Amino acid sequence: MIGNIGTGKTHISIGLELTACKQGDNVKFYTVANLITELTETQEYKKLLKLERQFEKVGPIDST
């Protein structure tokens, strides 16, 4: 989600995440800052494939 500070992006994201968990889906929540940090660290330590496998477990985002 993209928007100004204080518009409720994190609140909505967490609500969607909880709903998906209740339906049995695997989810992973990142702030942009945390995702950039994670990607930078995996690049430095050559662990990008491991991170990709973690994302694959979560599954694709269905925008329909």
Domain-wise residue ranges, the chain: 31-64
Rounded CA gap, 18 and 39, in Å?
Answer: 24
Task: Kindly report the pTM of this predicted structure.
Answer: 0.55
Q: Give me the pLDDT at residue 15, please.
A: 93
Q: Give me the pLDDT at residue 62, please.
A: 59
Rounded CA gap, 64 and 62, in Å?
Answer: 6
How many CA atoms are closer than 13 Å to the CA of 12, on its beta-carbon side? 7
Burial of residue 42 (CB within 10 Å: 0-12, 13-18, 19+) is middle
Q: Give me the pLDDT at residue 29, please.
A: 82
Q: Give me the pLDDT at residue 55, please.
A: 79
17 and 29 Cβ atoms separated by less than 8 Å: yes
Compute mean pLDDT per 10 residues along the chain, 64 residues long, and list them. 88 91 87 87 77 76 55
